[in-house]
């Protein structure tokens, strides 16, 4: 979760951060094939259907069979003259009304609910119209399904109860797939439906036109409509006008119409006309057709109550004019009714799902998906079918039409009057972020018009004006809407001006900061609560922001403002105590109960006879007592809701206050953490700069230092030097050695800190390794006059996996310190191996470490008071390196000490036991003397001639054809002519360095060869590079001959010519008469230098041996040769053999 910077007001001006939580919709909502952009603007990218296809889908809504039923019912109740005129008049009115509604819906890509929001109703004001619209869909769904159930009973003798269920459920799978499936269904069924619709009329016109005689004079049931009667005419218009809500379903389809352009403007206009108004022409024709078919059925003896059922009237028409065989007539009737019902009820269910989605999403801030509301709408329709809604169709539609007409006419008034006059903003603004909850323009006009119209319709103003109620719904909104808009100056249309949305470069849509989905700009809003763009669906469903972007436009604020203007000043202060909230709830409860109980009372009163005054009085009394009881319960519930809301508000304010304190504490910690991070970053940069400096200058220091030490050793061995000068030379030598140790230790630390040190874990012969360490320090301790004890505990494994070099370095550093700082007593070396964990303990009887120095003992250059013991002071880096290496190996290094009692260092390392035999244990290593096949060419690139000559001396005897280059440019020039198989590349060269040379070789197509880096800069090994050099192809100086040859053999796939045995040892044995080994002291000292890998120290020791006794000259020469070839393994074997001969007196 991320926290935005926007806040909500809380206690003592405390603010609450709104936590941004990603909203993940279920598969029904996220699948736009199922969802069809419910609650949203229909994006241009989704409006890809041709104009004719959208128009055809919308036009198919004229497949209502209820239209024939309405026409037939009006014929029976009001006669032909009044019915026909009412149908034509209502058709003309609805045709004119549908033009602006269809145009706006198609142009702006909005359904009827979104169109209503932006036409003067406000964000919550249109929830009432969504309920009205939903009622239309389930009422007509129930009527159509009931007609189909009669057809199923007629054709298959299915009981009506089961028929209702089948007719309801068969629509659900079709509607869930959205407009895509509906459009395909309408296109496939349209030809068959049109043929079957007009077939009876064609046969009647061709073969029995005389049967129409008498239609015009038909006066209906009980001859009530023998001529034109304005009251009957108005009553018929009232029922007919109920289909005006069908405009909502047309808008639901027309919103998918492509945008109008210069190329498609004519197709677009025709498509909107056909899809938006064409259905009405066919609907008027179908209602007149129902009049004709009902008249023919009655004329043929069908009872009037059955003749109004479309199933019966089409059965009579098919049987009498098309199919004389009754079986064929029944089959044709059933097929036609089923196709008609499916075509219209997929539309009803689809439109109902959108209406319920809009209604509940705003009230509950939840949207489980349009598919859920498809099922919900179907279940309501099923319940109405079971209540036999078809039998009371006229009364239901008459009451409903007053409300529906008031709604549609209010929308039309805003579109055709207010917008052209500038009383309302242009376009359709439907987004929650920019709308008032209630706009009194549309909501007030509709409420007043519908309330007055229903009151007149129910006879509250007398029987004389009752039939004219529908004209109040038609005309009054056209006056009230612009009047209220003028009085309010249109300020309730827009709560805040839309802010321009910033689209990232290269993006084609805006991304919602909540659900992470891309939408077009018309469907997005800037949300200050989440500091980003939010889509209309996420904005609709958000219940946590509390309209932070427009707090003044909330319903509670509007209600408080209204009451504040109406109530006296002495009562206004009570509004904040909950009175206003209570009054708002009670107003809603009273209005809802009034409408519900009034409709029930009206329905029941119609079942009583006009002269049954006693029962009517009793009925009124029952409903009055029920209303009083419900009013009392509503008052208690409303007050409980007020108190609960007040408690939630107090809890929220306290939570806001505590949250603010927590946020401030978090911010404080965040700032502290930032400062610490900056300090750490500065320290890291300084440390890196130090490492780079040490790495760079170490090479510059070692060259003159080696010269100083070399000449100091020569002078120290010169007998002609006076004693007093020899003492000065010894000081120079010791100081130089100390400085060299300091440089090497510092470089080791820099390598470890820079992550340039890697572990080479291999099988290690553990007992031999330990014995080498012990033998080295036993001699040192004996020479110093102190004891050295080695105390192993238990049995040691023969082989373990470890990095021998690093482990040796750790132990030498610690043991060396113990021997160095111990003047009296001795050193005890404990070793315990258990559960693959090796524990090394080194105890000494030295001066110990003071408590205040103990915690700094592993820090670089922390020498402590022990450094004051004469010449025993060290560089202060040995323990630091040992600690860092131990940590790197996953181990633990600890120390215990008391001043005057010595120290105890404990090293614990995981050294797993292994069964494999290491290659180093092979006593007769294979020696390479050549290879089989053609000569291979190797190019050596190094600016140092000595280094080039060294490689030549290693490789030329083996038969390789060699060439040398002193620079990168010379290398590039030589490659085309020499065509090497392998190139050995140094990195630090003047001009073009090694890395750049390798890059240019890689880019060249003339050279396909293996490249290896041979460099003294081990820091570069394993580091990332763009030259394709892996760690395996990076060889560090000094070069190990066997490792170099193994690498060449792998790269070139060589078959080596080898010999067994160690020729160096064989040579030495053969010449033992002429060449004798030096003393064991010199041999062990030389072995120590070889273990450290210190070439200069080895050569210096050999010089010392040669000066002391010239008889060892042949031994020294051979060892020098092996040193220059870096054959340290062979040298150690010679030394071990020499130690054996010296110790045991072998010749």
Contact 85, 95 (CB under 8 A): no
Contact 753, 1019 (CB under 8 A): no
Residues 1049 and 1067 reside in one and the same domain = no
Mean pLDDT for 152-161 is 86
Q: Report helix angle 613-716 to 579-606, nearest 10.
A: 140
Contact 887, 904 (CB under 8 A): no
For residues 465 and 505, which has the higher predicted lDDT (pLDDT)? Answer: 465
Mean pLDDT for 403-422 is 92
Of 472, 430, 482, nearest to 450 by C-alpha is 472
End-to-end CA separation in angstroms for the chain: 83
Span of 160-174, 428-442, 615-629 with lowest mean pLDDT: 615-629
pLDDT digits (tens, 9 = 90+) for 970-984: 998 898 888 899 999
pLDDT band at 1068 (very low <50, low <70, confident <90, very high): very low
Of 873, 848, 871, 855, nearest to 863 by C-alpha is 873
Span of 313-322, 652-661, 733-742, 929-938 with lowest mean pLDDT: 733-742
pLDDT score at 714: 52
Mean pLDDT for 235-257 is 85
Residues 906 and 972 reside in one and the same domain = no
Mean pLDDT for 468-490 is 92
pLDDT score at 473: 92
pLDDT score at 699: 53
pLDDT band at 643 (very low <50, low <70, confident <90, very high): confident
Whether residue 555 is contained in a domain is answered as no
CA distance 262 to 731: 100
Residue 670 in this model has a pLDDT that exceeds 50: yes
Domain total for the chain? Answer: 5
Residue 830 in this model has a pLDDT that exceeds 90: yes
- Asked if the bond preceding 1038 is cis, omega within 30° of 0, the reply is yes
Whether residue 674 is contained in a domain is answered as yes
CA distance 804 to 764: 7
pLDDT score at 446: 92
Residues 837 and 964 reside in one and the same domain = no
Span of 158-167, 701-710, 1050-1059 with lowest mean pLDDT: 701-710
Chosen domain end from 680, 696, 731: 680
Residue 853 in this model has a pLDDT that exceeds 60: yes
R_g (Cα) of the chain, nearest Å: 51
Residue 328 in this model has a pLDDT that exceeds 80: yes
pLDDT digits (tens, 9 = 90+) for 987-1033: 888 888 888 888 888 888 656 788 898 876 655 665 667 777 887 78
Residues 300 and 185 reside in one and the same domain = yes
For residues 132 and 1109, which has the higher predicted lDDT (pLDDT)? Answer: 132
pLDDT score at 607: 61
Residues 141 and 286 reside in one and the same domain = yes
Mean pLDDT for 525-534 is 83
Residues 868 and 961 reside in one and the same domain = no
For 1029, the domain range is 926-1055
Residues 67 and 216 reside in one and the same domain = yes
Whether residue 263 is contained in a domain is answered as yes
pLDDT score at 13: 39
CA distance 649 to 304: 62
Chosen domain end from 387, 410, 428: 387
For residues 46 and 821, which has the higher predicted lDDT (pLDDT)? Answer: 821
Of 754, 758, 755, nearest to 688 by C-alpha is 754
Residues 989 and 1010 reside in one and the same domain = yes
pLDDT digits (tens, 9 = 90+) for 948-973: 877 887 788 788 889 999 999 999 88
Residues 84 and 180 reside in one and the same domain = yes
Span of 342-346, 470-474, 800-804 with lowest mean pLDDT: 342-346
Mean pLDDT for 192-205 is 89
pLDDT score at 1072: 36
Phi, then psi, of 1013 in degrees rounded to 5:
-95, 130
Contact 22, 515 (CB under 8 A): yes
Q: What's the distance, CA 738 to chain centroid?
A: 60
For residues 655 and 465, which has the higher predicted lDDT (pLDDT)? Answer: 465
> How is residue 756 written in tokens?
């340039």
Mean pLDDT for 263-288 is 87
pLDDT score at 511: 84
CA distance 743 to 764: 29
pLDDT band at 619 (very low <50, low <70, confident <90, very high): confident
pLDDT score at 19: 45
Whether residue 269 is contained in a domain is answered as yes
pLDDT band at 25 (very low <50, low <70, confident <90, very high): very low
pLDDT score at 906: 93
pLDDT score at 1001: 87
The enclosing H or E element of 986 equals: none
Quickly tell me which residue has 């100390």 as its tokens: 738
Residues 1044 and 1101 reside in one and the same domain = no
pLDDT digits (tens, 9 = 90+) for 377-401: 888 888 877 766 655 556 677 777 8
Whether residue 725 is contained in a domain is answered as no
pLDDT band at 1035 (very low <50, low <70, confident <90, very high): confident
For residues 564 and 678, which has the higher predicted lDDT (pLDDT)? Answer: 678
What percentage of the chain carries pLDDT values higher than 90? Answer: 11
Alpha helices by DSSP H, 1025-1112: 1041-1052, 1063-1070, 1080-1092, 1095-1108
Mean pLDDT for 1054-1058 is 80
pLDDT band at 921 (very low <50, low <70, confident <90, very high): very low
pLDDT score at 569: 64
CA distance 386 to 378: 12
> How is residue 950 written in tokens?
């060294």
Whether residue 1084 is contained in a domain is answered as yes
pLDDT score at 476: 94
**Length of the chain in terms of residues written:** 1147
Chosen domain end from 1038, 1055, 1072: 1055
Mean pLDDT for 1049-1076 is 57
Longest CA span, the chain: 156
For residues 924 and 978, which has the higher predicted lDDT (pLDDT)? Answer: 978
pLDDT score at 924: 43
Residues 210 and 227 reside in one and the same domain = yes
Whether residue 357 is contained in a domain is answered as yes
pLDDT score at 380: 82
Span of 169-173, 605-609, 758-762, 1129-1133 with lowest mean pLDDT: 605-609
Antiparallel, parallel or unpaired: β 937-941 and 982-985: parallel
Of 294, 400, 382, nearest to 345 by C-alpha is 382
| Residue 879, domain CATH | 3.30.565.10
For residues 666 and 691, which has the higher predicted lDDT (pLDDT)? Answer: 666
> How is residue 210 written in tokens?
């005389």
Residue 355: how many CA atoms within 13 Å on its side-chain side?
A: 27
pLDDT score at 553: 85
Mean pLDDT for 911-931 is 63
Span of 286-295, 497-506, 709-718 with lowest mean pLDDT: 709-718
What percentage of the chain carries pLDDT values higher than 70? Answer: 78
For residues 18 and 383, which has the higher predicted lDDT (pLDDT)? Answer: 383
| Residue 162, domain CATH | 1.10.4160.10
Mean pLDDT for 45-50 is 78
Span of 703-712, 813-822, 849-858, 1072-1081 with lowest mean pLDDT: 703-712
Residue 299 in this model has a pLDDT that exceeds 80: yes
Residues 902 and 932 reside in one and the same domain = no
Residue 89 in this model has a pLDDT that exceeds 90: yes
pLDDT score at 1057: 76
Span of 83-92, 794-803, 1061-1070 with lowest mean pLDDT: 1061-1070
pLDDT score at 804: 84
Question: Considering the chain, what is the average pLDDT of its residues?
Answer: 78
Whether residue 1134 is contained in a domain is answered as yes
pLDDT score at 1064: 40
Rounded to 10 degrees, the C-alpha dihedral 122/126/127/130 comes to -160
């Amino acid at each position: 979760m991320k926290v935005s910077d926007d806040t909500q007001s809380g206690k003592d001006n405390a603010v609450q951060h709104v936590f941004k939580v990603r909203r993940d919709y279920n598969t029904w909502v996220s699948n736009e094939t199922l969802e069809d952009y419910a609650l949203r603007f229909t994006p241009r990218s989704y409006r890809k259907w041709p104009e004719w296809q959208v128009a055809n889908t919308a036009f198919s809504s004229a497949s209502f069979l209820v239209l024939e039923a309405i026409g037939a019912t009006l014929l029976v109740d009001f006669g032909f003259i009044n019915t026909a005129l009412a149908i034509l008049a209502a058709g003309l009115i609805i045709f004119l009304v549908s033009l602006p509604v269809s145009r706006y819906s198609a142009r702006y890509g909005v359904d009827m609910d979104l169109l209503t929001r932006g036409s003067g109703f406000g964000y919550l004001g249109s929830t009432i119209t969504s309920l009205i619209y939903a009622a239309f869909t389930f009422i007509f769904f129930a009527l159509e399904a009931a007609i189909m159930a009669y057809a199923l009973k007629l054709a298959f003798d299915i009981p009506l109860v089961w028929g209702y269920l089948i007719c309801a459920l068969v629509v659900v799978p079709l509607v869930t797939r959205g407009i895509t499936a509906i459009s395909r269904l309408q296109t496939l069924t349209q030809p068959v439906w049109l043929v079957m619709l007009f077939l009876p009329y064609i046969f009647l016109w061709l073969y029995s036109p005389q049967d129409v005689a008498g239609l015009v004079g038909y006066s209906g049931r009980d001859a009530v409509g023998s001529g034109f009667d304005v009251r009957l005419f108005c009553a018929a218009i009232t029922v007919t006008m109920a289909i005006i809500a069908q405009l909502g379903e047309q808008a639901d389809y027309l919103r998918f119409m492509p945008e109008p352009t210069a190329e498609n403007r004519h197709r677009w206009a025709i498509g909107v006309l056909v899809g938006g108004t064409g259905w009405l022409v066919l609907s008027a024709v179908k209602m007149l057709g129902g009049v004709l078919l009902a008249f023919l059925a009655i004329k043929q003896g069908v009872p009037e109550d059955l003749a109004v059922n479309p199933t019966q009237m089409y059965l009579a028409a098919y049987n009498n004019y098309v199919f004389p065989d009754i079986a064929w007539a029944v089959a044709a009737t059933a097929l036609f009714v089923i196709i008609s019902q499916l075509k219209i009820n997929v539309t009803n269910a689809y439109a109902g799902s959108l209406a319920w989605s809009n209604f509940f999403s705003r009230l509950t801030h939840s949207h489980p998906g349009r598919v859920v509301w498809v099922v919900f709408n179907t279940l309501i329709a099923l319940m109405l079918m079971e209540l036999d809604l078809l039998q009371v169709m006229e009364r239901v539609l008459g009451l409903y039409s007053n409300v529906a007409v008031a709604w549609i006419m209010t929308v039309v008034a805003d579109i055709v009057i207010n917008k052209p006059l500038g009383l309302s903003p242009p376009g359709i603004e439907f987004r929650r972020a920019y709308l008032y909850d209630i706009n009194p323009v549309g909501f007030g006009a509709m409420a007043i018009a519908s309330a007055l119209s229903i009151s007149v319709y129910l006879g509250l103003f007398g029987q004389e004006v009752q039939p004219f109620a529908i004209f109040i719904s038609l005309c009054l909104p056209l006056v009230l809407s612009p009047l209220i808009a003028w009085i309010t100056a249109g300020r309730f249309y827009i709560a805040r001006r839309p802010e321009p949305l910033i689209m990232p470069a290269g993006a084609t849509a805006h991304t919602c900061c909540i659900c992470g989905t891309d939408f077009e700009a018309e469907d997005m809003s800037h949300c200050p609560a989440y500091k980003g763009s939010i889509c209309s669906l996420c904005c609709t469903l958000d219940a946590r922001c509390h309209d932070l972007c427009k707090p003044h436009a909330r319903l509670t604020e509007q209600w408080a403002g209204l009451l504040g203007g109406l109530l006296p000043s002495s009562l206004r202060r009570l509004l904040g105590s909950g009175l206003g909230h209570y009054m708002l709830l009670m107003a809603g409860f009273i209005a809802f109960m009034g409408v519900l109980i009034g409709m029930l009372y009206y329905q029941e009163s119609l079942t009583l006879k006009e002269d049954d005054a006693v029962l009517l009085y009793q009925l009124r009394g029952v409903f009055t007592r029920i209303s009083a009881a419900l009013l009392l319960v509503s008052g208690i519930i409303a007050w409980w809701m007020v108190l609960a809301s007040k408690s939630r508000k107090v809890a929220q304010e306290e939570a806001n206050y505590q949250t603010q304190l927590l946020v401030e504490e978090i911010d404080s910690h965040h700032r502290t953490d930032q400062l610490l991070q900056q300090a750490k970053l500065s320290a890291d940069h300084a440390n890196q700069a130090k490492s780079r400096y040490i790495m760079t200058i170490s090479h510059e220091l070692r060259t003159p230092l080696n010269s100083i030490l070399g000449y100091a050793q020569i002078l120290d061995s010169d007998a002609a030097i006076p004693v007093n000068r020899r003492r000065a030379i010894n000081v120079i030598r010791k100081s130089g050695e100390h400085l060299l140790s300091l440089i090497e230790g510092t470089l080791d630390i820099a390598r470890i800190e820079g992550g340039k040190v890697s572990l080479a874990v291999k099988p290690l012969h553990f007992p031999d390794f330990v014995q080498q360490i012990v033998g080295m320090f036993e001699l040192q301790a004996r020479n110093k006059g102190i004891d050295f004890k080695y105390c192993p505990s238990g049995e040691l494994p023969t082989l373990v996996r470890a990095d021998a070099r690093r482990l040796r370095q750790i132990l030498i550093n610690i043991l060396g310190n113990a021997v160095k700082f111990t003047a009296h007593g001795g050193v005890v070396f404990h070793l315990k191996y258990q559960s693959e964990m090796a524990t090394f303990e080194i105890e000494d009887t030295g001066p110990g470490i003071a408590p205040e120095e103990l915690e700094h003992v592993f820090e670089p250059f922390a020498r402590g008071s022990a450094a004051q013991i004469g010449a025993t002071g060290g560089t202060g880096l040995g323990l630091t390196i040992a600690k860092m290496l131990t940590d790197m190996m996953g181990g633990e290094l600890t120390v215990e000490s008391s001043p005057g009692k010595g120290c105890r260092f404990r090293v614990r390392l995981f050294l797993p036991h292994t069964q494999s035999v290491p290659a180093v244990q092979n006593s007769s290593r294979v020696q390479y003397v050549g290879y089989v096949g053609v000569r291979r060419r190797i190019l050596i690139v190094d600016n140092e001639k000595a280094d080039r000559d060294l490689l030549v001396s290693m490789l030329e005897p083996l038969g390789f054809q060699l060439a040398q280059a002193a620079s990168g440019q010379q290398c590039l020039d030589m490659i085309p002519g020499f065509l090497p198989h392998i190139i050995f590349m140094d990195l630090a060269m003047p001009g073009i360095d090694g890395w750049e040379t390798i890059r240019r070789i890689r880019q060249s197509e003339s050279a396909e060869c293996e490249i290896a880096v041979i460099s003294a800069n081990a820091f570069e090994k394993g580091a990332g590079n763009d030259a394709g050099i892996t760690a395996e192809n990076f060889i560090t100086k000094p070069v190990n001959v066997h490792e170099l040859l193994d690498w060449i053999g792998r790269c070139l796939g060589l078959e080596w010519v080898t010999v067994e045995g160690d020729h160096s040892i064989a040579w030495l044995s053969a010449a033992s008469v002429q060449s004798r080994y030096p003393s064991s002291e010199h041999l062990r000292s030389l072995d120590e230098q070889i273990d450290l890998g210190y070439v200069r120290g080895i050569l210096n020791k050999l010089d010392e041996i040669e000066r002391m006794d010239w008889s060892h000259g042949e031994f020294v020469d051979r060892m020098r040769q092996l040193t220059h070839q870096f054959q340290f393994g062979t040298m150690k074997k010679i030394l071990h053999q020499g130690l054996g001969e010296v110790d045991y007196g072998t010749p």
